[in-house]
């Protein structure tokens, strides 16, 4: 195996030949950098906020059937960007075949009170997390962002599927979001 050792002169000559060659170096613009694009505060310097939630066993007054829900917290009105990959949930074992969803209830997107609401989506942030055993600081998902725009607060909720919500199955966690 031969190894070429270049002195400073050889290195500079090689660099000059590279610099003289034709290259296709391009500059691409993101949506936020495109001229004329109106950026929202959540795109430009939105403030990262954390909303903590906790549903302690003491609040579970009875065993809930499948599709039982827990109201976790509210996000503020306006333009909000949730970061599911930063959100976390912890909880005790719910029992065999149980899965947990976390999403939002229906919310108002216009001033017109007669306008249709944005539909509830219980799987918006977390879908079908296996909670047959305990979970500890599990990320909601790998989805980069989930944008909401509401005229009123947005209620965040959890739903159990595949069985009951036991009275001993407490959950807690955080919702990470950017706000105007």
Which pLDDT band, with edges at 50, 70 and 90, does 75 fall under? very high
Alpha carbons 107 and 118: distance in angstroms, whole number: 5
pLDDT at 25 > cutoff 60: yes
- H or E element in which residue 15 lies: helix 8-20
Cβ(148)–Cβ(78) below 8 Å: no
Topology given in CATH for the domain delimited by 41-179: Jelly Rolls (2.60.120)
Residue in 77, 134, 129, 74 with CA at minimum distance from that of residue 101? 129
Stretch 158-176: mean pLDDT: 92
What distances in angstroms separate CA 148 from CA 14, 19, 53, 88, 155, one per listed residue?
54, 48, 19, 19, 12
pLDDT at 10 > cutoff 80: no
Compare 113 and 130 and report the one with higher pLDDT.
130
Compare 143 and 123 and report the one with higher pLDDT.
123
- Model pLDDT for residues 133-163, shown as the tens digit of each residue: 999 999 998 888 899 999 989 999 999 999 8
pTM of this structure: 0.78
Tokens linked to 47 = 């403030």
- Model pLDDT for residues 76-122, shown as the tens digit of each residue: 999 999 999 999 999 999 999 999 999 999 998 877 777 788 899 99
């Amino acid at each position: 195996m031969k190894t070429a050792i270049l002195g400073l002169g050889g290195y500079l000559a090689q660099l000059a030949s590279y610099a003289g060659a034709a290259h296709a170096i391009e500059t691409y613009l993101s949506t936020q950098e495109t001229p004329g694009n109106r950026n929202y505060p959540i795109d430009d310097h939105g403030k990262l906020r954390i909303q903590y939630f906790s549903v302690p066993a003491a609040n579970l007054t009875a065993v809930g059937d499948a599709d039982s829900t827990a109201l976790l917290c509210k996000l503020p009105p306006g333009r909000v960007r949730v970061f599911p990959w930063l959100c976390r949930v912890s909880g005790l074992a719910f029992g065999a075949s149980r899965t947990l969803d976390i999403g939002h209830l229906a919310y108002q997107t216009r001033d017109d009170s007669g306008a249709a609401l944005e539909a509830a989506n219980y799987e918006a942030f977390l879908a079908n997390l296996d909670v047959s055993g305990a979970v500890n600081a599990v990320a909601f998902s790998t989805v980069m962002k989930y944008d909401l725009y509401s005229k009123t607060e947005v209620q965040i909720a959890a739903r159990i599927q595949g069985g009951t919500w036991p009275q001993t199955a407490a959950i807690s966690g955080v919702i990470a979001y950017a706000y105007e």
